[in-house]
Amino acid sequence: MPQERLTKDQKREQAREAARLAREARLKAQARNRILIRVGATVGVVALLGAIGGGIWLATRPAGPGPANMASDGILLVGSDGAVRAVETPAVPADEDPIPTDPDAYDVPARIVTYIDYGCPYCGQFETANGPQIRDLVERGLATLEIHPISILDRAFQGSEYSTRAANAMACVAALEPDAFLDANEALYAGQPAEGTTGLTDDELRDLLDGAGALTDEVSGCIGDGRYKGWVKAATARTISDPDLVNPTTGSFGTPTVFVNGVRFSGSPSDAAAFAAFLGENADFGTDDATQE
């Protein structure tokens, strides 16, 4: 019996000790949580200040390696004899800046540079009105076309990140099927979803690229893993924070932003005649009325 009573006492003592340890652990956890809350609040303030004061850093550093053939954050397309090809460039490492395209690299009358969002209806209007004319100039060796896909309209597609996913898909094409980029670009605008919807699914994007001859297993996998989403967001941040790209009329960046030989086009995106006239004013095509063919 004494041994039995001792055993019970021991059990009671063990229970008390376990309760004491549990209570101490709970108090320590509560103390840690209070510290973490205070630290979290401090970090939140620092993060807010960093977001305000550190935006320049975000705008000049990619979140990950960029896609091949987009060293400038855009893909450069050149052509001759009715064919269009992409200029090959290496992928920019995560810790390096984009490399601007040398404006004198190709001796052509018109150097056309566009900044577009695949969810932007005005970009769609510009493509419909002016895409055939631009393609013709590139195919004939009279122009180069540098396309910069960015993402500023995710907010217009019910949280589906359509603009980012579409730009990621086109970055995959640039890296893996670059010579099909212009066909893919036209296909995405031909199938452009309306704002206020969820946009296209990844499979629907694949279908459009497949119809344009730009889909391979590698491209499909690249779309599926969102390989260049981080780069899309970083390239977008660089673009919208570049003072040279801000529209002087509005004081902010918007799409489409289009330059010919460094001069900004300020006409209506849907006015093909106005853009043709703009080309004629800013590019020397000689006696060949290139913009009217």
- DSSP percent split of the chain into helix, strand, coil, nearest 5: 55, 10, 35
Question: In whole angstroms, what is the distance from residue 162 CA to residue 19 CA?
Answer: 54
Q: What is the pLDDT of residue 288?
A: 56
Strands 263-264, 110-116: parallel, antiparallel or unpaired by DSSP?
unpaired
| Nearest CA among 114, 82, 270, 117 for reference residue 188 | 117
Q: Is the pLDDT of residue 198 over 50?
A: yes
Task: Tell whether 126 and 46 lie within a shared domain.
Answer: no
The CATH number given to whatever domain includes residue 183 is 3.40.30.10
Q: What is this structure's pTM?
A: 0.78
Of all helices (H) and strands (E), which one includes residue 143? strand 143-149
Q: For 289, phi and psi rounded to 5 degrees?
A: -80, 75
Task: Tell whether 69 and 200 lie within a shared domain.
Answer: yes
| Nearest CA among 180, 81, 181 for reference residue 140 | 81
Tell me what the mean pLDDT of segment 108-135 comes to.
Answer: 98
Task: Tell whether 251 and 171 lie within a shared domain.
Answer: yes
Task: Tell whether 21 and 114 lie within a shared domain.
Answer: no
Task: Tell whether 141 and 222 lie within a shared domain.
Answer: yes
Confidence label for 86 from pLDDT (cuts 50, 70 and 90) = very high
Domains contained in the chain, number:
2
pLDDT digits (tens, 9 = 90+) for 28-47: 655 555 544 454 444 444 33
Q: Is the pLDDT of residue 120 over 60?
A: yes
Confidence label for 20 from pLDDT (cuts 50, 70 and 90) = low
Question: For residues 148 and 235, is the Cβ–Cβ distance under 8 A?
Answer: yes
Q: Which of 48-62, 88-102, 194-208 has the highest mean pLDDT?
A: 194-208
Task: Tell whether 212 and 272 lie within a shared domain.
Answer: yes
More confident residue, 43 or 289: 289
Task: Tell whether 225 and 281 lie within a shared domain.
Answer: yes
Residues of the domain holding 9: 2-53
Task: Tell whether 245 and 106 lie within a shared domain.
Answer: yes
Cβ neighbours around 84 below 10 Å, total: 17
Task: Tell whether 106 and 169 lie within a shared domain.
Answer: yes
Q: Is the pLDDT of residue 19 over 90?
A: no
Q: What is the pLDDT of residue 94?
A: 85
